[in-house]
C-alpha cells in the first residue's frame, strides 16, 4: 500500500503557527499485536470486576483530570487550536461525566425482571469485550470520554485509534488510566494509520467498533465491521438548523446563535450551521447576528481575549475558503468575513485561521447548500412561515441536532415532533451531556452514545428464562 493510503502523518502540528512540534512513527504489526493481546487478556478479568471497582477507576481518572486541568488543556490547545478557556472547559466536562457514569451506571445496568410464563424471566446486561474506538480531533478528550466512560462501566475494555493530528492527547489519555490504577488493557492507544484499521476491525479479539467522524469514514468502517459481523455505533456529520420564529427572545437567540456557530472555531458536528429565520424577525436577527459574528476576536488561542482560534489543519482552512469562494462566485452575499486571517505568528507562521463569516442568498447549486461546513461560517436563510422552516431544516441528508427558538407551546411541540434529528433543543443551543442520549439519524449516524442508551449499545443484552 502506498504512503498516501495510510493517511496524514501522525504528528502534532501547532494550528496557530503551522509548526511541526513532534511526529510519531505508526505502530508496526508487532506493536499492534501486543496491544490486541493485552486487551484480550484483560477483558475477561475486567468483565468480572464490580461496579464499585469500575466506578472507583473513573472517579480517580476524574481526580487526575481536575488536578492537572491546566496542563492537560495546554496539550489540547497546542495540538488542535481550541482557545485555552474552551480546552479547560472540555477537561472539566470530561471529569464531571466520568463521575456521572460512576454514580449512575449500575442503576442503568441492573437486571430487569420480566413477567413470563416461568419461574423467572430476566434481561441482563453483560460486556462484549474489546471495543475499538476511532475518534476525531475536534473534541479530543470529550469524544473519547463519552466512549470510554460507559464502556468501562459496562465492563468492556477499549482500544483508541485517535485522529493523527492529536497523538499527544491520545497518549495522555492512556497514561491517565494507567496512573489511575487501571489494568494494562482497559484503555490502550493505537498510533496507526488508516491503512491499518481494517485489520484491527477484522481481528476476532475486537468485539465492536465505534466511530465519530465524516460520513465517508463512517460508511467505510461500517462496511468493514459488517463484513466481520460486528456491531457499530457511528456519530457522523451534521448540518444542524437553528430556527428562529417570531415569538423568540431575539436578543438571546442572537447571542446564543453566535456561540453555537463559532464554538471550537465552528468545528463541531452539532454546531448550528444553517440559520433559518422567519421573515417577520429576519431583519432584526440578521443585524444583531452579523454584528456579533463580525465583532469576534480571532487570534492566539492562549490569549484570554481570543474567542475564535485556528482551524485544526491547513487542509481544513482551505476547504472552508473554497466552499465560501464557491458560494460567492455563484451569487451568494457575504455579510461579514469571508477571508483567511494571518495569525499572531505573522506571514512566516500564519497558522490556519479563518474569519467568522455569514453568507446569505444561498442556492442549491452551491457547495455550502449540501456539504457540511466545518468552520466558523454561518448560512443564513429567510423563510415565510413554519412550514417552510421545517421543509428547509429537514431538506438535508443529515439529522444530528437541531435548535428551534419559539415561545409558542404549540410551535414547540410541532418542531419537536417533526424535525428529523436525533436531538431537538428548544430555546437553547445543542450540547452533549451524559444524562441524554447523543446521536443522529439519516447520514448523521447509527446508534447512541451517553446516557442509558449509550451504556446499552455495547452490551450483550441477554434474555434469561428459568422454568
So what's the pLDDT on residue 199? 98
- In whole angstroms, what separates CA 137 from the centre of its chain? 9
| Identified catalytic residue from 269, 307, 372, 459 | 269
Rounded CA separation 167/116 (Å): 51
Asked if pLDDT for residue 287 goes beyond 60, the answer is: yes
pLDDT at 198: 97
Looking up cell 456529520 gives 237
Asked whether the predicted pLDDT for residue 154 surpasses 80, the reply is yes
Q: What is the pLDDT of residue 62?
A: 98
pTM of the model: 0.96
User: Domains (ranges, CATH) in the chain?
Assistant: 3-236+444-466 (3.40.605.10), 240-434 (3.40.309.10)
| pLDDT in the model for residue 385 | 98
CA 165 to chain centre: 15
Burial class (CB in 10 A: 0-12, 13-18, 19+), 54: buried
d(CA 103, CA 362): 47
**Residue 269 a catalytic site member:** yes
Q: pLDDT at residue 6 above 90?
A: no
Cross-strand bridge partners of residue 462 = 124
- Cβ(193)–Cβ(26) below 8 Å: yes
- With beta carbons less than 8 A apart as the criterion, state whether 117 and 417 touch: no
Which pLDDT belongs to residue 7?
Answer: 72
* pLDDT of res. 455: 97
Catalytic annotation present for 336: no
Taken as a whole, the chain contains a residue count of: 467
Instruction: Say what the pLDDT of residue 8 is.
Output: 86
Using the predicted structure, report yes or no on whether residue 5 has a pLDDT greater than 70: no
- What is the average per-residue pLDDT within 352-361? 98
Residues above pLDDT 70, as percent of the chain: 99
**Residue 244, CA distances (Å) to 256, 280, 398, 415 in order:** 12, 10, 20, 12
- Residue-wise pLDDT tens digits, 313-341: 999 999 999 999 999 999 999 999 999 99
Instruction: Summarize the confidence of residues 179-204 as an average pLDDT.
Output: 97
Tens-place pLDDT, residues 259-269: 999 999 999 99
Q: C-alpha grid cell for residue 161?
A: 485509534
Neighbouring CB atoms inside 10 A of 346's CB total 10
Q: CA 72, CA 94: separation in Å to the nearest integer?
A: 12
> Average pLDDT over the chain, rounded to whole?
97
d(CA 296, CA 357): 10
pLDDT band at 3 (very low <50, low <70, confident <90, very high): very low
Catalytic residue (choose from 90, 174, 235, 449): 235
Per-residue pLDDT band for 390 (boundaries 50, 70, 90) equals very high
Helix 51-67 / helix 142-154 crossing angle, nearest 10 deg: 160
Average pLDDT over residues 381-388: 98
For residues 356-379, average pLDDT: 97
What is the spatial distance between Cα 276 and Cα 379, in angstroms, rounded to a whole number? Answer: 8
pLDDT for the residue 316: 96
Q: To the nearest whole percent, how much of the chain has pLDDT over 90?
A: 98
| Gap between the Cα atoms of 311 and 406, Å rounded | 32
The whole-number average pLDDT for the span 7-20 is 94
**How distant is the alpha carbon of residue 381 from its chain centre?**
26
pLDDT reading at 2 higher than 50: no
Q: At what angle do helices 69-80 and 84-108 cross, to 10 degrees?
A: 110
The whole-number average pLDDT for the span 85-98 is: 98
User: What are the φ/ψ torsions at residue 450 (nearest 5 degrees)?
Assistant: 65, 170
Amino acid at each position: 500500500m502506498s504512503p498516501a493510503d495510510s493517511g496524514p502523518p501522525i504528528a502534532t502540528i501547532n494550528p496557530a503557527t503551522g509548526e511541526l512540534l513532534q511526529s510519531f512513527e505508526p505502530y508496526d504489526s508487532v506493536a499492534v499485536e501486543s496491544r490486541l493481546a493485552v486487551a484480550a487478556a484483560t477483558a475477561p478479568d475486567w468483565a468480572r470486576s464490580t461496579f464499585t471497582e469500575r466506578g472507583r477507576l473513573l472517579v480517580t481518572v476524574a481526580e487526575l483530570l481536575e488536578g492537572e486541568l491546566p496542563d492537560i488543556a495546554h496539550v489540547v490547545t497546542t495540538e488542535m487550536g481550541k482557545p485555552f478557556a474552551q480546552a479547560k472547559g472540555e477537561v472539566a466536562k470530561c471529569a464531571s461525566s466520568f463521575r456521572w457514569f460512576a454514580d449512575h451506571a449500575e442503576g442503568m445496568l441492573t437486571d430487569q425482571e420480566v413477567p413470563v410464563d416461568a419461574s423467572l424471566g430476566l434481561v441482563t446486561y453483560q460486556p462484549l469485550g474489546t471495543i475499538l474506538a476511532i475518534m476525531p480531533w475536534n473534541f479530543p478528550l470529550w469524544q473519547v470520554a463519552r466512549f470510554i466512560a460507559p464502556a468501562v462501566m459496562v465492563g468492556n475494555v477499549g482500544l483508541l485509534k485517535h485522529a493523527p493530528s492529536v497523538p499527544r492527547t491520545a497518549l495522555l489519555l492512556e497514561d491517565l488510566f494507567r496512573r489511575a490504577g487501571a489494568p494494562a488493557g482497559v484503555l490502550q492507544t493505537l498510533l496507526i494509520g488508516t491503512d491499518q484499521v481494517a485489520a484491527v476491525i477484522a481481528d476476532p479479539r475486537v468485539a465492536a467498533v465505534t466511530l465519530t467522524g465524516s460520513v465517508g469514514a463512517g460508511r467505510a468502517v461500517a462496511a468493514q465491521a459488517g463484513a466481520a459481523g460486528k456491531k457499530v455505533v457511528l456519530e457522523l456529520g451534521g448540518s444542524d438548523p437553528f430556527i428562529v420564529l417570531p415569538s423568540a427572545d431575539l436578543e438571546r437567540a442572537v447571542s446564543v446563535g453566535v456561540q453555537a456557530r463559532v464554538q471550537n472555531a465552528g468545528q463541531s458536528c452539532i454546531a448550528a450551521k444553517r440559520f433559518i429565520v422567519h421573515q417577520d424577525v429576519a431583519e432584526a436577527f440578521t443585524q444583531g447576528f452579523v454584528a456579533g459574528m463580525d465583532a469576534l476576536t480571532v487570534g492566539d488561542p492562549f490569549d484570554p481575549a481570543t474567542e475564535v482560534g485556528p482551524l485544526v489543519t491547513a487542509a481544513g482552512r482551505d476547504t472552508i475558503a473554497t466552499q465560501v469562494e464557491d458560494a460567492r462566485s455563484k451569487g451568494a452575499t457575504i455579510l461579514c468575513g469571508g477571508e483567511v486571517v494571518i495569525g499572531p505568528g505573522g506571514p512566516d507562521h500564519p497558522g490556519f485561521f479563518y474569519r467568522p463569516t455569514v453568507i446569505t442568498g444561498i442556492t442549491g447549486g452551491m457547495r455550502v447548500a449540501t456539504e457540511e461546513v466545518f468552520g466558523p461560517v454561518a448560512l443564513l436563510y429567510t423563510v415565510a412561515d413554519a412550514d417552510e422552516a421545517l421543509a428547509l431544516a429537514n431538506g438535508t441528508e443529515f439529522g444530528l441536532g437541531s435548535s428551534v427558538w419559539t415561545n409558542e407551546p404549540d410551535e414547540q411541540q410541532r418542531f419537536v415532533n417533526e424535525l428529523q434529528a436525533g436531538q431537538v433543543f428548544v430555546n437553547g443551543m445543542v450540547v452533549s451531556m451524559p444524562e441524554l442520549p447523543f446521536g443522529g439519524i439519516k447520514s448523521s449516524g447509527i446508534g447512541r452514545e451517553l446516557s442509558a442508551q449509550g451504556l446499552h449499545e455495547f452490551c450483550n443484552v441477554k434474555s434469561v428464562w428459568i422454568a
